[in-house]
Amino acid sequence: MKKLAYILIVCCLPLLSIGQTKFPFIVDSMNVIQIPNGKSEHLTLFYEKLLQTLQTKQGQISILHIGGSHIQADMMSHQIRSHFDSLFPETHASRGLIFPFETAKTNNPYNYKVTHKGNWTASRNVRETRVATLGLTGIAVTTNDTAAQITVNLNPEEEKHRWQFNRLTVLGYADNDLVEPKLAINDSIYTATFDSTLSTYLFKIDRPAEQFTLVIEQKDSIMHNFTVNGFYAENDECGIVYNAVGVNGASVPSYLSCENFERDLHIIKPDLLIFAIGINDAVPENFSDSTFISNYDSLLTKIKRVVPDCAFIFVTNNDSYRKIKGKKTSYYSVNRNGLRVERDFYELAQKHNGAVWDMFAIMGGLQSMPQWEAMGLAQKDKVHFTKKGYKLLGDLFYSALIRSYNKTMSER
What ranges do the domains of the chain cover?
1-93+238-412, 94-236
What residues contact residue 111 under an 8 Å CB cut-off, 6+ apart?
74, 78, 156
CA pair distance 320, 335, nearest whole angstrom: 6
Residue 16 has pLDDT above 50, yes or no: no
Report which of 291, 112, 148 is spatially closest to residue 225, judged by C-alpha positions. Answer: 148
Residue 135 has pLDDT above 70, yes or no: yes
Least confident span in 100-109, 111-120, 267-276, 327-336: 327-336
Q: Say what the pTM is.
A: 0.96
The whole-number pLDDT of residue 19 equals: 45
The whole-number pLDDT of residue 11 equals: 75
Q: What are the respective helix, strand and coil percentages of the chain, to the nearest 5?
A: 30, 30, 40
Sign, Cα dihedral of 68, 70, 72, 76: negative
pLDDT bin (cut points 50, 70, 90) of residue 162 is: confident
- Tell me which of 3.40.50.1110, 1.20.950.20, 3.30.1330.10, 3.30.300.10 is the CATH number of domain 1-93+238-412: 3.40.50.1110
Q: Are 83 and 36 in contact (CB under 8 A)?
A: no
Q: Which fold has domain 94-236?
A: Jelly Rolls (2.60.120)
* Residue 384 DSSP SS3: coil
| Strand 60-67 with 272-276, pairing | parallel
Q: Are 142 and 123 in contact (CB under 8 A)?
A: yes
Q: Are 70 and 87 in contact (CB under 8 A)?
A: no
Report which of 245, 286, 316 is spatially closest to residue 81, judged by C-alpha positions. Answer: 245
The whole-number pLDDT of residue 269 equals: 97
The whole-number pLDDT of residue 166 equals: 97
Radius of gyration of the chain (CA): 21
CA pair distance 142, 297, nearest whole angstrom: 31
Least confident span in 152-156, 219-223, 276-280, 335-339: 219-223
